[in-house]
Amino acid sequence: MKLKRPIIALDFNDAQRTLDFLQNFPQTEKLFVKIGMELYYSAGQDLVKAILEQGHDVFLDLKCHDIPHTVERAMYVLGQLGVSLTTTHANGGHEMLKAAKYGLVEGALKAGKKEPQLLAITQLTSTDERMVKEEQLITVGLEKSVENYAKLAQNAGLDGVVCSGWEANKLREVTGPEFLRVTPGIRLKTDSLGDQKRVMTPDMAAQNGSSAIVVGRPITQAKDPVTAYQAIFELWNQ
Ligand code: C5P
């Protein structure tokens, strides 16, 4: 399954800036946006609800990671919001992943909302080969560790992973086409890289097997965010 709309990472630090940014788009344009930890910790559920009320879809990227019971209860709360996607860390293990999914679905059922999809973080893109081997003592290395975590997440009933465009094809082989591969680190040829190192253009991500892309600064910092969004939309869906 491919998500046609690029997901816009709303990496702002307060509600007002976020809502001002969304005002750039025509009211009829229903977006898919990502809210991460900084914005959620600063603006909380009220902002999520306000954005949902405007008709947008929300990817709430909170990367929950704790003992299974705590994660289940946290996910129960998130499931009631009506978001479309959220995240947890695969290395919380099978029981925690199952509990996360269970809590999310129960929360959505209780509130009469659609069932959100749950993505796993495998190895953060800030984690390199040395860290995997020397700090985590995982002898099989980074690539195999990512594959292992993806399979672990799939076996626990999750819906996909966050992964770099460079990993997407391999993960498609390992987990099959329906398991989502959501890819950040997207840049147009004309964009600056910022702090991203291994970037891809939207069309490359499509060719390399990503099923959704997350784009922040190339849209949020653009002089004309709507034009930037449209250019990325076209390349991703060409
Ligand atoms: O501005 P930029 O397009 O680099 O934003 C990418 C978004 O995706 C940010 O919200 C960032 O936190 C997130 N992300 C990432 N790399 C990951 C996971 C999430 O860049 N591995």
Residues 5-44 have pLDDT tens digits of 999 999 999 999 999 999 999 999 999 999 999 999 999 9
Residue 199: what pLDDT?
84
Ligand 1, residue 196: give the atom nearest the CA: 4
As for how many domains the chain has, the answer is: 1
Is 64 a domain residue? yes
Contact 17, 220 (CB under 8 A): no
Is 82 a domain residue? yes
Is 20 a domain residue? yes
Residue 175 pLDDT grade (very low, low, confident, very high; cuts 50, 70, 90): very high
Q: What is the CATH number of the domain that holds 225?
A: 3.20.20.70
Residue 60: what pLDDT?
98
pLDDT digits (tens, 9 = 90+) for 128-156: 999 999 999 999 999 999 999 999 999 99
Work out the percent of the chain whose per-residue pLDDT is above 90.
93
Is 22 a domain residue? yes
* Stretch (H or E) spanning 149: helix 142-155
Please state, rounded to an integer, the average pLDDT across all residues of the chain.
Answer: 96
Is 35 a domain residue? yes
Take atom 13 of ligand 1 and give the residue whose Cα is closest. Answer: 184
Residue 66: what pLDDT?
98
Within a 10 A sphere around the Cβ of 153, how many other Cβ atoms?
29
Is 2 a domain residue? no
**Cα–Cα distance list, 58 to 25, 72, 192 (Å):** 16, 20, 26
Contact 194 CB / ligand 1 (< 6 Å): yes
Bridge-based pairing state of the strands 57-64 and 117-121? unpaired
Is 224 a domain residue? yes
From CA 57, how far away is CA 48, in angstroms rounded? 10
Is 1 a domain residue? no
Query: In whole angstroms, what separates CA 231 from the centre of its chain?
Result: 21
Give residues with Cβ within 8 angstroms of 210, minimum separation 6: 163, 165, 168, 181, 182, 183
- Give me ligand 1 centre to Cα 185, in Å: 6
* Domain limits for position 24: 7-237
- Residue 107: closest CA among 83, 132, 129, 78: 78
Residue 196 pLDDT grade (very low, low, confident, very high; cuts 50, 70, 90): confident
Residue 46: what pLDDT?
98
